[in-house]
Amino acid sequence: MLDLEKRHESFWLRLMCTWTLHTDLDNKSVRRNLEQLDAVLGPWLEHKSVPDEEQQKIKEILSLVGARSEFLDLVRRYGINRLVPHVFLPEWWSVFSKTLQM
């Protein structure tokens, strides 16, 4: 749906989808997203000192909170929110995001 709309503002949702669907990482947008993530996560993964502001960004990245917001916007935009009201519950996202980590 995101590709059909040609919307580029859904960074986190697009990252989550392309990461899952393009495991060979040859997609140009996937490489760009990985470079952006590396810029933020790189120092943290190397156990370097990371300012509080950057630590907050890391928490947001790893929690996928941005992807959740963009996903809910997509559900609303296509009018399927009445069909899947459970996805708006915080508990649903928590379970969903844990399955991504497996």
| HEC-encoded secondary structure of the chain | CHHHHCCCCCHHHHHHHHHHHCCCCCCHHHHHHHHHHHHHHHHHHCCCCCCHHHHHHHHHHHHCHHHHHHHHHHHHHCCCCCCCHHHHCHHHHHHHHHHHCC
Domain that holds residue 60: 2-100
Residues near 50 by Cβ (< 8 Å), separated by ≥ 6? 43, 44, 58
**pLDDT for residue 90 is more than 80:** yes
How confident is residue 12, by pLDDT bands cut at 50, 70 and 90? confident
Looking at the 3D structure of the chain, how many domains does it have?
1
pTM of the model: 0.60
Instruction: State percent of the chain over pLDDT 70.
Output: 73
